[in-house]
Each structure stands twice: as structure tokens, then as C-alpha cells.
Amino acid sequence: MKSRWVVKNNVRKFRLAAGKTQTALAEEVGVSRQTIISLEQRTVDPSLSLGIRIARALVRPLEEVFFLDGHFGGK
């Protein structure tokens, strides 16, 4: 049985709660606005370094912002 782990995130939820725009968050953590958009749409997974910077910028524990959702099953 193979397992497949999917990285999910609450970036948008916590960004909005913090009153930050995508541009402001991107500038704070040193990436482009498009990177924040891609993370929020879950089309890319962040590096560990970026994940930590985002969690710190949002003043949240890393595990609240990014988490694994495990799926088990065939193929």
C-alpha cells in the first residue's frame, strides 16, 4: 500500500486575519506576489525556509500554517 502526502496550508486564512495583502506578505518574506498566490492556490509547496518565514510573518506556529494531509490507497 502506497501513501501519498499532500501539503495543505492556511496561508490565505491567516494572511487575511492579519490584515495583510498578498503583496505585503510577499515583500515581508522576500518572494513575489505570484509565489504567495501559488501557495494559496496550493499549486506549489514551499521550501522549509519559506514556510518558516511565512509562519513567522503571520505570527503563527508553522504547523498551523502548513500541514500534511495523508491519503492512503492504491497507485
Residue pLDDT, tens place only, 16-65: 999 999 999 999 999 999 999 999 999 999 999 999 999 999 999 999 99
Residue 32 CA to chain centroid, in angstroms? 14
Residue type (1 letter), 68: L
Out of 3.30.70.890, 3.40.50.720, 1.10.260.40, 3.60.20.10, the CATH code matching 2-73 is: 1.10.260.40
Domain ranges of the chain: 2-73
Virtual torsion, Cα 40, 48, 50, 43, nearest 10 deg: -30
Enter the pTM of the model: 0.86
Number of H helices, E strands in the chain: 5, 2
